Structure 1
Amino acid sequence: MEGERRVGVAIDFSPCSKQALRWAVENIVRDGDYLILVNVQPGGYYEGTEIQLWEASGSPLIPLTEFSNPAVMKKYGVKTDAEILDILNTVARQKEIVVVTKVFWGDPREKICEAIENIPLSCLVIGSRGLGKISRILLGSVSNHVVNTAACPVTVVKNTDHED
C-alpha cells in the first residue's frame, strides 16, 4: 500500500455510519484508492483465540470477499450488513479500488485514532449521530474526540435523518 491513498471510513453499521460511507464513496474515493473500513467492537471476553491475539493491534486486513462472507465475519464478532456490502461491491467494481476492513476491540475513540496511525490512513470519514449538547457532554462524542486527536484529516458526516 506504499504511496497509495488510504481512505478510512469508521463503520459501526448504524445509519449515520452508512451515510458516512456513502458520502466518502461519492466525494473522496477515486480510482485506484484503498478504501479501509475501521470497525470497533466492544471490548470484553471472547471465546475465539484469534480475537484475544488481535485485541491489542486489531485484526489483519480483511479483503472484501471475506467481509462479504457471514461465516468468516462471525469469528471477528461482526455481523455484516447487506446495504453496506452492496455499496462496497459497487464502488470496488466501478472505481477499481481495493476494499479491506480492519476490526478492533475496545473504546472506539481510542481504537479509531490508533487505526489512523498504525495503518496509516491518508484521511478518515466518520459519521455523527447528531447528539445534543447535553448528551455529548454525558456520553462523549466519538467523532469529536477523533477530530481533535487524529493524525490525519477527518471529515464528519452529520446524520441528516436525525430528528431533534
Structure 2
Amino acid sequence: MAGRNIGVAVDFSPCSKSALRWAAANLAASGDRLILIHVKSSYQYEQGVAHLWEHDGSPLIPLVEFSDPRVSKMYGVAPDRETLEILTRAASCQKGVQVFAKVLWGDPGKKLTEALQRIPLQWLVVGSRGLSAVKRVLMGSVSSYVVKHAACPVTVVRENMLPSAVTTNH
C-alpha cells in the first residue's frame, strides 16, 4: 500500500533510533512519507516562535530544513548526526520515500496519539526501553500508552532489534 504517512516517535535515544532504523528498513515503501515525530515535554525555548505551534505542533519540516542547525534551533530541537544519517539514508536509498519531521510540545503519550489524527498517520513506530512491570507502573510508559490509545497500527521496537523485539498491534 503506497502513500501512507508513517510516524516514528523519536527522542534521539538509542531505542528511538532503533525504531527509526526498523521503520525505514521494514515499513517505508515508495510513495510513503516517513515522519519523525519529536515531542518536547518542556515549553522552554530560546526562540519565541515555538509558541505559534504549541497547540498543533510545528508544520511538517522537510529533511533538508530539519538538517539545518538554524531551523532545528528555531524549534528547540537538536537532532544528532546518527539520526540525520538514518533519515538521509531512508530518503536516498528508497526511491519515492519522503522524509519530514514534526515537533510537538506537551505530554509525549497524549501528543503522539493526537498526531495520529492530526497529521494523519496510518502507522506509528515507537521505541521501548524495556522497562520492568514495576517501573512501567511507577514511571509510566509512552509506548504502552500509545498502544492502548492508538486508532492505527503501532509497532513497538526494542533497542536490541531482534526479531522477537518487535511487537505490532493491529
Query: Alignment partner of 2:49: what SS?
Result: helix
Q: In the alignment, is the contact (CA less than 8 A) between 1:43 and 1:107 conserved in 2?
A: no
For 1:88 and 1:23, the matched residues in 2 are separated by: 12
Partner deviation per Cα, 1:56-104 (whole Å, 9 max, x = no partner): 1100110000111111100111001111111111111111211000100
**Which aligned segments of 4 or more residues in structure 1 are displaced greater than 4 angstroms?**
none
Q: Deviations over 1:95-130 (max 9, x none)?
A: 121100010011101100111110000100000011
State how 1:72-111 maps to structure 2 within 5 Å. 72-96=71-95, 97-111=97-111
Equivalent pair of 1:24/1:125 in contact (CA under 8 Å) = yes
Aligned positions of 1:3-152 closer than 5 A = 4-96=3-95, 97-152=97-152
> What CA distance in whole angstroms lies between the structure 2 residues aligned with 1:116 and 1:54?
17
**Residues 6-59 of structure 1: per-residue CA shift (max 9 Å, x gap):** 111000000000000011111101112100111001233435332111111100
Does structure 1 conserve the Cα–Cα contact (< 8 Å) formed by 2:46 and 2:76? no
Aligned residues: 159
* Kept in 2: contact 1:32–1:95 (CA 8 A): no
Quick check: 2:105–2:111 contact (8 Å CA) kept in 1? yes
Q: Which amino acid aligns with 2:10?
A: I
Specify the code of the residue in structure 1 equivalent to 2:14.
Answer: P
Which sections of structure 2, spanning at least 5 residues, go unmatched?
A: 162-170
Q: Give the deviation of 1:143 after TM superposition.
A: 0.2
Amino acid at match of 2:123: C
TM (norm. structure 1) is 0.92
Q: CA RMSD in A?
A: 1.4
- Once residues 34 and 44 of structure 2 are traced to their aligned partners in structure 1, the CA distance between those partners, rounded to angstroms, is 29
Structure 2 CA distance, aligned partners of 1:81 and 1:48? 20
Normalised by the size of structure 2, how large is the TM-score? 0.89
Query: Which moves more between the two structures, 99-108 or 88-97?
Result: 88-97
Q: Among the aligned pairs, what percent are the same residue?
A: 54
